[in-house]
Amino acid sequence: MEHWLNKRASLTPNQIALEMEEESYTFYQLQQKVKTFAGQLGRFQIKGHIGILSDNSSEMVIAFWACTYLQLPVVFLNTRLAISEWQQQCTDADVEWILTSSRYLDHAEHLNLTVKTFFEVKKLSVYEPASVDEIDLHRVCSMMFTSGTTGRAKAVQHTFDNHWSSAVASSLNLGLLSNDKWLACLPLFHIGGLSILIKSVIYGMPVYLLEKFDTEKVHKAIMEDDVTILSVVAVTCSRLLERLDEGQYPASFRCMLLGGGPAPKPLLEKAQAKQVPIVQTYGMTETCSQIATLNEQDALRKQGSAGKSLFSASLKIIGENGECGAGQIGEIIVRGPYGIAWLLPSDY
């Protein structure tokens, strides 16, 4: 397949790709910045995996896409971890080279790896222009670590195909409108955040990017900046509804995609009273984001349910005596083109 960002920049060059509080880039502008950055980064002739340690920023977005032009799998490091945890993850994921924002430079330098800030790379002259025009869907695009709920955090590899299939499945579920604009305030180093970036390029949809969740900023983005979809967790959803108070979101606002755990009933009732559609979703790093969703119509009637598996996914819950009935506890077995993820190292 043609490189997604090249294809998108050729299809809709003047469409907004990335919108932030202070500035925005079209897909053409984003492509140019990414190609330049890839040309600068190419100077280091990096082999293997490259770590990115950063909060959400346009530099982080540009660095990620630049790595796809250089065919470098990106290992996303969670900025909230301790240095020893980063060290462990870099060892597990075979990272020897790290890109970071200046905020994390001091910390990152304790890792005994090669570390460069986005700013340092941007000052370099272009070594050679980015040359990868094709995406091999079977290549690894990104890696990130599971939360480690059931033991040591594991590195999950996402191929381009995993990301493609996930973006497609989400669009078949939620639909795709020409005015869609998705707000990303989840960290891009989590799959829930990264998946928005991927969708943006595949759909030709602007992403409104915030460094992190901030009630006032998100509220303003919905009320004034034409955001139509928003990824939230229960606690941020609750804060937004409180901030909304007696007000109403614009008619163009479509829904909040709520993941990361079930939503409490009072929250769902509040949302319904304020006519804010909540689409509850179930997914994880291993499934490359959402794999099941609960329609807004069923939000209260089926409270506690994660809904139905997406069109191209299959899901079973298996207990000791085979497939579980309603309310029974078992292991979740998922199948689908975005459920294929490898774990590293191989001896887990």
Structure tokens belonging to residue 293 = 């969703």
Least distance between its own copies and beta carbon 164 (Å): 8
User: What's the number of CA atoms in the CB half-sphere (13 Å) around residue 234?
Assistant: 12
CA 244 – CA 22 distance, rounded (Å): 24
Using CB under 8 A as the criterion, which residues of the chain lie in contact with its own copies when the complex forms?
1-2, 4, 7-8, 10-11, 168, 171-172, 175-178, 202-204, 308, 311-312, 314, 336
Kindly tell me which of 96 and 298 has the beta carbon lying closer to its own copies: 298
Within 10 A of 177 (CB to CB), how many other CB atoms are there? 13
H or E segment and range at residue 289: strand 289-294
Min CB(308)–its own copies separation in Å? 6
- Closest distance to its own copies from the beta carbon of 177 (Å): 6
Q: Are the beta carbons of 88 and 81 closer than 8 angstroms?
A: no
Q: How far is the CB of 317 from its own copies (least distance, A)?
A: 15
Are 231 and 257 contacting, i.e. CB atoms less than 8 angstroms apart?
A: yes
Cis peptide before 345 (omega within 30 of 0): yes
Nearer to its own copies, 5 or 144 (CB): 5
Pick the closer one to its own copies by CB: 10 or 32: 10
CA distance 71 to 49: 9
> Is the Cβ of residue 171 or residue 272 nearer to its own copies in the bound state?
171
- Nearest Cα neighbor of 22 from 53, 58, 54 is 58
> C-beta of 314: minimal distance to its own copies in Å?
6
| Closest separation in Å from C-beta 192 to its own copies | 21
- Residue 120 neighbours by CB under 8 Å, 6+ apart: none
The tokens for 321 are 């005596």
Q: What are phi and psi of 240, to 5 degrees?
A: -65, -40
Give CA–CA dist 145/80, Å, rounded.
13
Nearer to its own copies, 11 or 333 (CB): 11
Residue among 74 and 202 whose Cβ is closer to its own copies: 202
- Which residue is listed with tokens 């980063």? 86
Q: Which is nearer to its own copies, 65 or 97 (CB)?
A: 65
Nearest approach in angstroms of CB 8 to its own copies is 8
Helix or strand run (H / E) with residue 95: strand 95-100
